[in-house]
Amino acid sequence: MAIKETRHRLKILKQLLGSGELSTQDELVYELKKRDFEITQSTISRDLRKLGAIKAIDPMGRTIYKLSEETKEVLPVTQQGFQGLIIKISHNGSLIVIHTSPGSASLVARQLDILKKDLILGTIAGDDTVFVAPVNVKKIEAVMKSIIKEFNLSR
């Protein structure tokens, strides 16, 4: 019975994410509770990971949850949209660290993965921090400057 309920919950969650109107896990919990699911924020967090959902910016500039395969429709995002999401960028000689507003790291990492494939080996996103591994650590300063320019940031 629990597996069936989980599948049903994930199906409903996909539908909610498809609406493109929900921006917090609390909103998702509320919507699922309205549909008679007993659910917590931690369960929503696990479900979002399981579904591959990420934060994205909609055409109005709002951050929303979307399924990862839908993000290509949302990107590219305006530079102004990212200026409000990225708080600080720095490096330690081997990794670039980008601090973002809470819940925005996956969006920033996804944009970097798409735009900077030639300069970046990969990204790891938490809730509000992105680790960026450059292809060549000897060029880390140039990679960081490229990111700053791409997102129209001031250091």
Tell me: the pLDDT tens digits for 41-74?
Answer: 889 988 887 887 888 777 777 888 888 764 444 4
Domain count along the chain: 2
87 with 43, same domain? Answer: no
Q: Which of 16, 40, 70 is the last residue before a domain boundary?
A: 70
Q: Which of 70, 88, 104 is the last residue before a domain boundary?
A: 70
Return the sign of the alpha-carbon dihedral for residues 131, 137, 138, 143. negative
Q: Are 108 and 147 in contact (CB under 8 A)?
A: no
85 with 143, same domain? Answer: yes
DSSP state of 70: G
What was the pLDDT predicted at 19?
84
* Domain interval for residue 103: 79-150
Rounded Cα gap, residues 139 and 78, in angstroms: 26
Residue 116 lies in a domain: yes
Q: Look at residue 149 and tell me whether its pLDDT is greater than 80.
A: yes
**Residue 68 has which token pair?**
């990862």
Q: Which of 70, 92, 126 is the last residue before a domain boundary?
A: 70
- Residue 146 is inside which H or E element, if any? helix 140-150
Q: Are 22 and 16 in contact (CB under 8 A)?
A: yes
